[in-house]
Amino acid sequence: MKKENLRNIAIIAHVDHGKTTLVDEMLKQSGTFRANESIQERVMDSNSLERERGITILSKNTSIMVDNTKINIIDTPGHADFGGEVERIMKMVDGVLLLVDAYEGPMPQTRFVLKKAFESGVKPIVVINKIDRPEARIEHVQDEVLDLFIDLGADEEQLDFPVIYSSAKNGVAKLDMEDDAKDFMPLFKMIIENIEHPKGKEEDSLQLLISSIDYDKYTGRIGIGKITKGNIEKNQSAIVVDKDMKQTKVRVTSLYNYEGLHKTETDSAGVGEIVAVSGMENINIGNTICNIDKPDPLPILEVDEPTMSMNIIVNDSPFAGRDGRFVTSRNLKRRLEREMLSNVAMRLEEVSEDTFKVYGRGELHVSILIETMRREGFEFAVSRPEVLMKETEEGLKEPIEYVYVEVPEEYASSVIDKLNRRKGEMVNMVPSMGSMTKLEFKVPARGIFGYRSELLTDTKGYGVMHHVFEGYDKYTGEIPTRTKGSLIAYEQGQASAYGLTSAQERGVLFISPGLDVYEGMVIGENSRVDDMVLNVCKRKQMTNVRASGTDDAYKLAPPRILSLEQSLEFIKDDELVEVTPKEIRLRKKVLNRSLRDKAGKSKK
The CA distance from 22 to 419, in Å, is: 36
Crossing angle between the packed helical segments 108-120 and 138-151, to the nearest 10 degrees? 50
Q: Return the DSSP state at 212.
A: E
Q: Is 132 annotated as a binding residue?
A: yes
Instruction: Report how far apart, in Å, the C-alpha atoms of 372 and of each of 375, 385, 393 are.
Output: 5, 18, 40
Query: What's the per-residue H, E or C state across 146-190?
Result: HHHHHHCCCCHHHHCCCEEEEECCCCEEECCCCCCCCCCHHHHHH
Q: Is 210 helix (H, G, I), strand (E, B) or coil?
A: strand
The CA distance from 580 to 538, in Å, is: 26
The CA distance from 484 to 132, in Å, is: 46
Contact assessment for residue 295 and residue 283, using Cβ atoms and an 8 Å cutoff: no
Q: Which residues of 287-298 are buried (b: 16+ CB within 10 A; e: fewer)?
A: bbbbbeeebbbb
Q: Return the DSSP state at 326.
A: B
Contact assessment for residue 7 and residue 197, using Cβ atoms and an 8 Å cutoff: yes
Q: Is 243 annotated as a binding residue?
A: no
Q: Is 316 annotated as a binding residue?
A: no
Q: Is 62 annotated as a binding residue?
A: no
The CA distance from 348 to 346, in Å, is: 7
Contact assessment for residue 114 and residue 12, using Cβ atoms and an 8 Å cutoff: yes
CA torsion angle 465 471 477 480 (round to 10): 20
Query: What's the per-residue H, E or C state across 2-41?
Result: CHHHEEEEEEEECCCCCHHHHHHHHHHHCCCCCCCCCCCC
Cα three-residue angle 569-385-349, rounded to 5 degrees: 155
Closest CA to 265 of 281, 253, 254, 279: 254
Q: Is 129 annotated as a binding residue?
A: yes
Q: What single string gives the DSSP state of each residue in 440-457?
A: EEEEEHHHHTTHHHHHHH
Sequence length of the chain is: 604
Cβ atoms < 10 Å from Cβ of 162: 15
Q: Is 19 annotated as a binding residue?
A: yes
Helix (H) or strand (E) holding 110: helix 108-120
Q: Is 582 annotated as a binding residue?
A: no
Four-residue CA torsion sign, 264, 265, 268, 273: positive
End-to-end Cα separation, the chain, in angstroms: 71
Q: Is 361 helix (H, G, I), strand (E, B) or coil?
A: coil
Closest CA to 562 of 529, 587, 590: 587
The CA distance from 26 to 562, in Å, is: 38
Q: Return the DSSP state at 282.
A: T
Give the type of residue at 380: F
Helices (H), 264-328: none
Q: Is 55 annotated as a binding residue?
A: no
Contact assessment for residue 120 and residue 33, using Cβ atoms and an 8 Å cutoff: no
Q: Is 18 annotated as a binding residue?
A: yes
Where is the binding site for GTP, in residues?
Answer: 16-21, 129-132
Enumerate the known binding-site residues: 16-21, 129-132
